[in-house]
Amino acid sequence: MPGAVVCFGELLIRLSGPGHERLLQSPRLDVAIGGAEANVAVGLSRFGHKASMASVVADNELGRGAIAALRAQGVDTSLVRLAPGRMGLYFLSQGAVSRPSSVLYDRADTAFARLAKSLTDPAEVLSGARWLHVSGVTPAVGPHAAQAAVDLAKAAKAQGVHVSFDGNYRAQLWASWDGNGPDILREILSCATLAFINERDIALILGEGFASRHAAFARTFEVFPSLTWIAATTRNLSSVNHQVLSAELVSRTERFVSRAHELAGVVDRIGAGDAFAAGLLHGFLSGQGPQASLEFAVASAVIKHSIPGDFNLTYVEEVEDILADGGLDVRR
Amino acid sequence: MPGAVVCFGELLIRLSGPGHERLLQSPRLDVAIGGAEANVAVGLSRFGHKASMASVVADNELGRGAIAALRAQGVDTSLVRLAPGRMGLYFLSQGAVSRPSSVLYDRADTAFARLAKSLTDPAEVLSGARWLHVSGVTPAVGPHAAQAAVDLAKAAKAQGVHVSFDGNYRAQLWASWDGNGPDILREILSCATLAFINERDIALILGEGFASRHAAFARTFEVFPSLTWIAATTRNLSSVNHQVLSAELVSRTERFVSRAHELAGVVDRIGAGDAFAAGLLHGFLSGQGPQASLEFAVASAVIKHSIPGDFNLTYVEEVEDILADGGLDVRR
Amino acid sequence: MPGAVVCFGELLIRLSGPGHERLLQSPRLDVAIGGAEANVAVGLSRFGHKASMASVVADNELGRGAIAALRAQGVDTSLVRLAPGRMGLYFLSQGAVSRPSSVLYDRADTAFARLAKSLTDPAEVLSGARWLHVSGVTPAVGPHAAQAAVDLAKAAKAQGVHVSFDGNYRAQLWASWDGNGPDILREILSCATLAFINERDIALILGEGFASRHAAFARTFEVFPSLTWIAATTRNLSSVNHQVLSAELVSRTERFVSRAHELAGVVDRIGAGDAFAAGLLHGFLSGQGPQASLEFAVASAVIKHSIPGDFNLTYVEEVEDILADGGLDVRR
Amino acid sequence: MPGAVVCFGELLIRLSGPGHERLLQSPRLDVAIGGAEANVAVGLSRFGHKASMASVVADNELGRGAIAALRAQGVDTSLVRLAPGRMGLYFLSQGAVSRPSSVLYDRADTAFARLAKSLTDPAEVLSGARWLHVSGVTPAVGPHAAQAAVDLAKAAKAQGVHVSFDGNYRAQLWASWDGNGPDILREILSCATLAFINERDIALILGEGFASRHAAFARTFEVFPSLTWIAATTRNLSSVNHQVLSAELVSRTERFVSRAHELAGVVDRIGAGDAFAAGLLHGFLSGQGPQASLEFAVASAVIKHSIPGDFNLTYVEEVEDILADGGLDVRR
Amino acid sequence: MPGAVVCFGELLIRLSGPGHERLLQSPRLDVAIGGAEANVAVGLSRFGHKASMASVVADNELGRGAIAALRAQGVDTSLVRLAPGRMGLYFLSQGAVSRPSSVLYDRADTAFARLAKSLTDPAEVLSGARWLHVSGVTPAVGPHAAQAAVDLAKAAKAQGVHVSFDGNYRAQLWASWDGNGPDILREILSCATLAFINERDIALILGEGFASRHAAFARTFEVFPSLTWIAATTRNLSSVNHQVLSAELVSRTERFVSRAHELAGVVDRIGAGDAFAAGLLHGFLSGQGPQASLEFAVASAVIKHSIPGDFNLTYVEEVEDILADGGLDVRR
Amino acid sequence: MPGAVVCFGELLIRLSGPGHERLLQSPRLDVAIGGAEANVAVGLSRFGHKASMASVVADNELGRGAIAALRAQGVDTSLVRLAPGRMGLYFLSQGAVSRPSSVLYDRADTAFARLAKSLTDPAEVLSGARWLHVSGVTPAVGPHAAQAAVDLAKAAKAQGVHVSFDGNYRAQLWASWDGNGPDILREILSCATLAFINERDIALILGEGFASRHAAFARTFEVFPSLTWIAATTRNLSSVNHQVLSAELVSRTERFVSRAHELAGVVDRIGAGDAFAAGLLHGFLSGQGPQASLEFAVASAVIKHSIPGDFNLTYVEEVEDILADGGLDVRR
């Protein structure tokens, strides 16, 4: 039986050069499985929640490998369909010093993009769920994925399943077909209880500029009456591998601000936003208050920066240890 | 200036698990650059000939990496165009014992498939060429590639450039679009001087069955009056890594048969056919007779089985050493 | 809910030098998860059956990693308990030419050895099962494991769950404590429907010698009235990496003999016996007759020799392809 | 003949994931040989001293590999006995950013733990020695090791061999058996000339708290009349890989403080304490004064942070270069 | 046809331990191709210029591999001769924290050192060139190389080809034969339009000390009337992997100073000076003014610190992105 | 104190591409330490004898690494001198199928070649020795090495130390200087008790041809009256990785012939001759008769083919297991 949180989105195979090498500098690529929603599912599973992935993967060794990676992390994959087609890939060049990491997508015309709609049955997906998590990446993949995401969000709202939406506006993907990104995202947002979204996302979705993050959030609450919470991180980079991370969680009446974490010697920043989302959902699901949930979420994201790959391979104890200032020296 | 032999086809990025692992068994893939015609270009370049590649690659780090791999081997790449789109990939699981190697193509809708026709100018490609080499894989990629291949072959024939055609009928690729494979391949074959083709290819192309390889070749010479030579290998496998390889070269009046080579402990069989083609063209280009050219071609293919990757990273001296029975113990 | 086949035994972490290196020749060890019964569970899962593992693992990153490896292969791990203690390890030196592979066990006093009995509830383990699979390795681990195995086998027999027993007599393990191996194994065998066992195992278990395999099997059927089938492989090695494998399946009235497979260029022989067991159980579970089940089982074992690690990472289609003589050249 | 410094303790095999990966994230472990006293022996040998290791290792490829690693570094291993049993292992997860490194011990019931006492003859071990070095880890391993350590320390004191004791109180190990840690450590300390301990160690050993490091040291000198020197490092971590390190060396009448070193981009912190101990002993053995010895010791520890593995693979010249501010740019 | 910039110097094979390991710590070495002038040629080629390498390499797999590496980067190698002899090697230990990287040269008596003069024909090398780039490393290799460098510089000056000279005074190399370094370098400098030198190089070349960089530059302009530009970087290291880099470009009348870049988490500092030189030549060749050229040059050097190996595997767009403060977060 | 057998010769660093790759196909080289005489010393040490190496290595990290590798194997290195200069290197391309392995030497002008004579004191080297082992490779290195080898052999003979000489005539090395190989080798052979030579070596050394191996041996015994034993292997290769190996041991009156071993799936053939020599010396040193010594020697060589690197990392037990036909299946 699917878990309390269902994540809907595409599974991706990530390919990156070893260490800080450029792509093809050595004839070898390191592989990781990822995808914005899959990363959240893995995070939640590792935090002790029953998380399900709903998706479509290619019916070949790559698709089955992606499923295996999720299952290894305890994610329920009974809602992942195998279908003809190709897997979405992305190639990552890990940056360093002043050269930012860069992502090269190769995810056009995938099994997910083609069949996300026809192979996803909202009733089945949402049966037993308390939360549906979906990100702005999913509808950006193409018309079928967009329709599936919208339908799922609406069905969730209709039957009282909370919708968690992570905004990530990916211009590169929206540019690959003729979908109206803002319209579609507004449809999903109108079903959401919780949005991970910042002033830049909001400006794109609402088609208007804002003087401040505060103003953007205020307008978002106005436009989307179902929305209860907005969460957003703030990231300051003095170098690719040295950053400061904090976050805030805002409701219509309150604003919670996390402590700021200095991140020195960042190993892998990919998936940190998803680790933040998984952390916040963990806080909510386990009945912690907003401030505690937010702190847990940021500390979860902090840890992700120390772990290679897309998945946040951590434990509740490790996150809490950071919050308790448990010390940075070797544990033995 | 492009070289004496121009090879036209798609450049592929090959991704395989380390050693004999299944795909994604370890989170790592080994990378090689390949493609039927590119392999021939590399072979010819290493045998001392000026070889050019004509192709279209994605204008990204992967496409540029593919070009770099050809340039490293001395192949002229001035006819390789960079264009928007994706690169063709293929995933290889190296077999062993009784489990055959298997290839998973991910080459739909590539920059080459989309733009092979529009970015290929026959006059420019053939200027200065003595031979054009193209394989049956290229037209199978899609309508644009097929048209480009046919146009090039016709232009070559018209201006006295010899056409070398390697039949490889790939049902998997032809099934991916509605092209009439036999028709298209017949058009190319009707321009060819030299064909690497066996009775199975011929049956598919001519749409008729044959009692013997002999009969198939005889019929082929009838149907294609411009054809001077047919070359074909014979491969017997007692195990995935233990094989016997020989070949024959047939004209309208003569038949040359090579010695048979026992291949024990095969390292990588991919590209052996292309190594055979490059070897035969080397023999022809360097003025050797048919028997000597054929023996060189088979020995070139033999060596390929000892080298990882698609390219036949050998030297004329090594091939000749095998023909001279130079000994198998360490050289020092 | 646990699957139709429950496998009970210890999960092991295998550590081996890269390629054919001796242990610690390079400062690196390759890791695989294994264990006789776990290998069978993985094999069955990959052949499409619902297989469960019942075990105890260390409550640390190693134990959780072992669970993850089973889950990745689709094995149900709801019956695997986390407990304080250490994981069983084994160090493998891959042999070659005339140097046999060798195993160095480091599995004394593991969480499984200590707690296999107290954390295993027969009623829970067998609920819903059609088969229980256990090997002679499990009771050899120590008194708690031996008791747990005997109790499970008896409970299975009592409630009509078939017991599949794989003999593997491991003198090294029995020597590490004062258990009476033959007595214990006889208790388990007396519950078994199917035994994977040869004349050498039988001699050790029954404490008597036999003139032939035939005589040993006949006596075994006499001593164990519940036993329906005995299966045994025959392996001839002309070199560490070149072998011939066949098998037979015998009932009280019939004898089925498989074709013999020549294995050239063996990659990894570990787990081949478990692949054979999984293959035979697959045949039985899917309603194939004895000859077909046996041929499937041997072909399953054949494929294992081509795959690194303990798990037989194959598919039904690949096994059937060998049985159909589908050819050994590259599939593309 | 054994060397001037004899180090007594357990040899360990360290297994860690590649880079910053979690254990088993990839199916590969990097191997290093270590152990608190072995690290000191290696450090001294590389600084030009004749150092001997006294220990017991498993009589298998792992134990012999551990001996080989010490011999490679020039350490005399004639006092290392091979005996039945298992090797001590430890699994290391390298931390990063705010996730501390963590050690998972798997060293229960090793050949050393079982046989350290019976296979160690104080007369033989100390013959020719000027210093005996032992750490608090050794007695924590178990009763036999504790007894052996105490006996050796007493014998050393009796025959005028200086005892160097490194406190490292490992609660995890002491918890694994019913030894009275403080009592045992006091016995050893009462024989020591030189102690590497800090106020935390002292509080645990003496069973009383202190207002300051100064007070703790003062009390230690009171309790242990043979003690001449106490050395202690101070480590401040702003991030797992960014630290500041300094140290002090205190006698009954004097206190020497080293310069503080900023450690940015720490590669491997394990073994730094042992590198400090080896550096101080080097200073003493080579007749340098306390301040110079202390500065050398800290610089030795500083270098260890740049070198993967437990051993401080450096040279006297490199340490002195740091003390001379020889510059940080490439040397060529 | 050779390109607009000809670089003359030795090709080297660099061998370094994995990660931060000492040489031979693991039985593996990572390989890169380099050489001061080759690095400049690669940089220019990647910035879109036609760059040629003039050199002599060993006529074996190593020499041909070095040529392949340059060709892969688009550098014209028609002026690289194959000759009997050995390749120059250098072994690199990557430093960290406070341990500087160190280079062990093994480049005595190479094919280049023996034959640089006899196989280099100035007329052929300079035909079609606008710039000749040579560094102080080349004449330091030995008498033949020195003569070849001087002859080329003189011929260039004579026929109006600009000479770019990078000073790098390598005492280690000059000490290996009895050449008069200052005399030889003065001969080359007297032909140069552009010199990459600092006050330390100048003091060695002119044999006099200077109170300031300013004074040294002033004197250099006096001594070498043909010289138009002097460029020099300033590097401050707070740790091996944390540095600050800036540069200045000075003419007889003007002085341009770049912005300073903080380099945190340096990956590989080797080749940064060559990346600076290539960047400045790019600015000059593409008609940018001095300030813009200087800023581009420094940003080019900055990026080199993020890329493993000797070559600056970047693009014009990446360099410009740094100058435009394009942001440090992942690009996707 | 040096051991009973002293081996005199050069230590080499071997660099080879991973697996069966060509040199520089991937940017990585695997490293092993070797050298004909060092391999014998390691073999003897692993067979339980006290073996010493006498040599000269470069006083840098490479030379020290070579010493460490010998020490790790228990070889006494007190007679290995550190001196200025370079290390001998050799690059190995592992062959496969019909492509033989090939060695590229880079060992001109090494520290050993320059200083072998001046840093080798026969009295010191031979003190305590029962056997001196030297191969024909050593004098081929150059005049100083040749003189040192001759002087040592003469001194050994003079003081009753047995000389074991392994012929290996390396034309490539003799061609690199003007030494008279045959003359020098005759001088050494005239001191030898035991010679590992075949008819090809003898023909070169004596300057005459022979109708048979028998005739060559007879003539050798005539010319060298001190010679007691000649040993020679016979190797038949049906493929690079499939061979048959046997050997004979001949005295003036007797001839012993070993059994022939089939070697399938050869991993690394380098060092097999040295493994044979070490095995025979082991037999002699441990008082076995000629037939037993010969069989041990061949089995030792057989095992070498299964182990990567130059050293025969085996044990007496493993060799004896082969002689006892202990079986080829996994040991556990």
pLDDT of residue D3: 63
Look at residue E93 and tell me whether its pLDDT is greater than 90.
Answer: yes
Please answer yes or no on whether F69 and D72 come within 8 Å at the CB atom. yes
Give F294 to chain C, closest Cα distance, Å: 17
- If you count them, how many residues does chain C have? 332
Look at residue E142 and tell me whether its pLDDT is greater than 90.
Answer: yes
Mean per-residue pLDDT of chain F: 96
Interface test with E, best of B71, B80, B317, B331 (most E CBs within 10 A): B71
The ipTM assigned to this model is 0.96
pLDDT of residue B3: 63
Q: Shortest CA distance to A91 belongs to which of A77, A107, A80?
A: A107
Q: Please give the residue of chain F at the shortest CA–CA distance from B263.
A: F97
C183/D contact by beta carbon, under 8 A: no
Tokens of D14: 């360290």
B64/E contact by beta carbon, under 8 A: no
CB A33 within 8 A of CB A66: yes
Look at residue D311 and tell me whether its pLDDT is greater than 60.
Answer: yes
Q: Please give the residue of chain B at the shortest CA–CA distance from D25.
A: B27
DSSP for E72-83 reads HTT-EEEEEEEE
CB atoms within 10 A of CB C167: 24
Planar angle of CA F135, F139, F141, nearest 5 degrees: 110
Q: Please give the residue of chain D at the shortest CA–CA distance from A328.
A: D100
D31/F contact by beta carbon, under 8 A: no
| Strand partners for B71 | none
pLDDT per residue over F44-77, tens digit each?
Answer: 999 999 999 999 999 999 999 999 999 999 999 9
Q: Binning pLDDT at 50, 70 and 90, where does residue D91 land?
A: very high
Chain F residues within 8 A of A25 when measuring between CB atoms:
27
pLDDT per residue over A109-166, tens digit each?
Answer: 999 999 999 999 999 999 999 999 999 999 999 999 999 999 999 999 999 999 999 9
Give the span between the Cα atoms of E302 and E287, in whole angstroms: 22
pLDDT of residue C41: 98
pLDDT per residue over E37-85, tens digit each?
Answer: 999 999 999 999 999 999 999 999 999 999 999 999 999 999 999 999 9
Look at residue C170 and tell me whether its pLDDT is greater than 90.
Answer: no
Nearby residues of A244 by Cβ (< 8 Å), 6 or more positions away: A235, A236, A238, A260, A261, A262, A263
pTM of the model: 0.97
Average pLDDT over residues D262-271: 97
Chain C residues within 8 A of D114 when measuring between CB atoms:
none
Q: Binning pLDDT at 50, 70 and 90, where does residue E163 land?
A: very high
Please answer yes or no on whether D24 and C106 come within 8 Å at the CB atom. no
Tokens of E31: 């390989």
- Encode chain B in three state secondary structure: CCCCEEEECCCEEEEECCCCCCCCCCCEEEEEEECHHHHHHHHHHHCCCCEEEEEEEECCHHHHHHHHHHHHCCCEEEEEEEECCCCEEEEEECCECCECCEEEEECCCCHHHHHCCCCCCHHHHHCCCCEEEEECHHHHCCHHHHHHHHHHHHHHHHCCCEEEEECCCCHHHHCCCCCCHHHHHHHHHCCCCEEECCHHHHHHHHCCCCCCHHHHHHHHHHHCCCCCEEEEEEEEEEECCEEEEEEEEECCCCEEECCCEEEECCCCCCCHHHHHHHHHHHHHHCCCCHHHHHHHHHHHHHHHCCCCCCCCCCCHHHHHHHHCCCCCCCEC
Give D44 to chain E, closest Cα distance, Å: 18
Give the span between the Cα atoms of C43 and B52, in whole angstroms: 49
Give the span between the Cα atoms of C103 and C124, in whole angstroms: 34
pLDDT of residue C169: 82
Q: Binning pLDDT at 50, 70 and 90, where does residue F324 land?
A: very high
Q: Shortest CA distance to A107 belongs to which of A134, A91, A87?
A: A87
With H, G, I as helix, E, B as strand and everything else as coil, classify residue A25: coil
| Euclidean distance between the first and the last CA atom of chain C, given in angstroms as a whole number | 39
The secondary element (H helix, E strand) that includes residue D140 is helix D137-140
Tell me the percentage of chain C whose pLDDT exceeds 70.
99
Chain C residues within 8 A of B236 when measuring between CB atoms:
none
pLDDT of residue E1: 46
What chain A holds in terms of domains, given with CATH numbers, is 5-323 (3.40.1190.20)
CB A125 within 8 A of CB A158: no
> How many Cβ pairs closer than 8 A exist between chain B and D?
7
pLDDT per residue over C17-40, tens digit each?
Answer: 999 999 999 999 999 999 999 999
Give the span between the Cα atoms of A277 and A274, in whole angstroms: 5
pLDDT per residue over F7-57, tens digit each?
Answer: 999 999 999 999 999 999 999 999 999 999 999 999 999 999 999 999 999
pLDDT beneath 70, residues of chain B: 1-3
CB atoms within 10 A of CB F147: 17
D69/E contact by beta carbon, under 8 A: no
F259/B contact by beta carbon, under 8 A: no
- Encode E130-168 in three state secondary structure: CEEEEECHHHHCCHHHHHHHHHHHHHHHHCCCEEEEECC
- For chain A, 332 residues long, give each residue's pLDDT as a single digit of tens: 446 899 999 999 999 999 999 999 999 999 999 999 999 999 999 999 999 999 999 999 999 999 999 999 999 999 999 999 999 999 999 999 999 999 999 999 999 999 999 999 999 999 999 999 999 999 999 999 999 999 999 999 999 999 999 998 887 789 889 999 999 999 999 999 999 999 999 999 999 999 999 999 999 999 999 999 999 999 999 999 999 999 999 999 999 999 999 999 999 999 999 999 999 999 999 999 999 999 999 999 999 999 999 999 999 999 999 999 989 999 98
pLDDT of residue D1: 46
Tell me the percentage of chain A whose pLDDT exceeds 90.
95
Give the span between the Cα atoms of E54 and E58, in whole angstroms: 14
Average pLDDT over residues D223-238: 97
Chain C residues within 8 A of A72 when measuring between CB atoms:
68-69, 71-72
pLDDT of residue F3: 62
Tokens of A75: 């994610």
Please answer yes or no on whether A73 and C74 come within 8 Å at the CB atom. no
Give the span between the Cα atoms of F123 and C97, in whole angstroms: 43
| Euclidean distance between the first and the last CA atom of chain F, given in angstroms as a whole number | 39
Please answer yes or no on whether A27 and B23 come within 8 Å at the CB atom. no
Average pLDDT over residues C286-314: 98
Helices (H) and strands (E) in chain E, counts: 13, 14
pLDDT of residue E170: 80
D19/A contact by beta carbon, under 8 A: yes
Please answer yes or no on whether C61 and D104 come within 8 Å at the CB atom. yes
Q: Shortest CA distance to B241 belongs to which of C272, F97, C325, F240?
A: F97
Planar angle of CA B61, B66, B72, nearest 5 degrees: 115
A74/C contact by beta carbon, under 8 A: yes
Give the span between the Cα atoms of C136 and C182, in whole angstroms: 10
Look at residue D244 and tell me whether its pLDDT is greater than 90.
Answer: yes
